[in-house]
Amino acid sequence: MKRVAAINDLSGFGKCSLIADISVLSSMGIEVCPVPTAVLTAQTGFPSYYQQDLKDMVEHCRIEWSRMGTKFDGIITGYIPHENQIDQIIDFANAFNQKNTVLLVDPVMGDGGQCYANYTDSMRLGIQKLVRKADVITPNLTELCILAGEDPNELPNNVDRILEIAKKAKASEKQKIVVTGVILEKGELCNMAIHPGGAEVIHSKYNGLSYSGTGDLFAAALMGNLLNGETLVDAVSKTADFISESIVNTEDKDRNYGVDYELQLKKGWER
């Protein structure tokens, strides 16, 4: 059985972060070992929330799990509440990132041209450092611009320009970048899979709505599909279908509560 370490927060509402990692990867037959970075009553988009930090938890997981001789097939990282946790995450990745381990870094920093509440310039520098180690990164368009040092207030909407920005954000020739939630000129939604062999644009159904947690669900499902043997492009395509079906099945509600993806999990992946 494959095993993934998931470094992320646990939010009571928002259907994001560890809830996404644990439920999605478990439903794909993959063991998840959570490394909680903070516990929140709700994700930070809610008008009010309480956050309990777990500042040393990543380090303790590294120390204890190293003693246990633990090995991981994948390491996924998401929302990082404090920039001073990034070095611990890098140490964790160094300790467990073996030759065949997939290190997927979701550089969670913002969406829709806006940065999240925890964002600072040194957070960006830290995330750029973490990104350099990753096999796969899954920025949305806002995060891609931030990583590349471009202004996220003017999100690009054409494929060539996005490829140009991705080239700047890319850490190495062999790094794979999946740019999520790209809205093209004609209002179409797509994800872009950029890999050493080229780049593919994978179109999705789009109803114009955006919800909390879809980036986290995307990263978790992408990791699962990759570990289950899919090529990058097939993994992106299956993952994009999972997200768009989840959005279609979501009742019209406050975006902060996330999407009803559980109904997709109930149907299963082996269809």
Nearer to ligand PXL, 9 or 135 (CB): 9
CB of 17 to ligand PXL, least distance (A): 4
> Taking CB under 6 A as the rule, does residue 79 contact ligand PXL?
yes
CB of 188 to ligand PXL, least distance (A): 23
The correct pick among 6, 35, 40, 227 for binding ligand PXL (CB under 6 A) is 40
Paired tokens of 254: 């406050």
Which residue from 66, 30, 37 is spatially nearest to 51, judged by alpha carbons? 37
Check if the beta carbon of residue 203 is closer than 8 Å to that of residue 184. no
CB of 110 to ligand PXL, least distance (A): 9
Segment lying near ligand PXL (by CB under 6 A), choices 8-16, 56-64, 129-137, 219-227: 8-16
CB of 256 to ligand PXL, least distance (A): 9
> Taking CB under 6 A as the rule, does residue 45 contact ligand PXL?
yes
CB of 89 to ligand PXL, least distance (A): 15
Collect contacts of 111-117 with beta carbons under 8 A, ≥24 apart: 111/140, 111/142, 111/143, 111/181, 111/210, 111/215, 112/142, 112/210, 113/142, 113/152, 113/153, 113/154, 113/155, 114/142, 114/152, 115/142, 115/146, 115/152, 116/44, 116/79, 117/44
Paired tokens of 47: 């008008």
CB of 180 to ligand PXL, least distance (A): 12
CB of 248 to ligand PXL, least distance (A): 20
Nearer to ligand PXL, 43 or 180 (CB): 43
Nearer to ligand PXL, 73 or 134 (CB): 134
Segment lying near ligand PXL (by CB under 6 A), choices 11-19, 22-30, 55-63, 247-255: 11-19
Give me the 93-132 binding string for ligand PXL, x by CB under 6 A, dash otherwise: ---------------x-------x----------------
> Taking CB under 6 A as the rule, does residue 80 contact ligand PXL?
no
Nearer to ligand PXL, 43 or 244 (CB): 43
- ∠187-189-195 over CA atoms, to 5°? 130
Number of residues binding to ligand PXL, judged by CB under 6 A: 15
Which residue from 219, 222, 251, 254 is spatially nearest to 238, judged by alpha carbons? 222
Residue nearest to ligand PXL (CB): 44
Check if the beta carbon of residue 266 is closer than 8 Å to that of residue 242. no
Q: Which residues bind ligand PXL (CB under 6 A)?
A: 9, 11, 16-17, 40, 43-45, 79, 108, 116, 212-213, 215-216
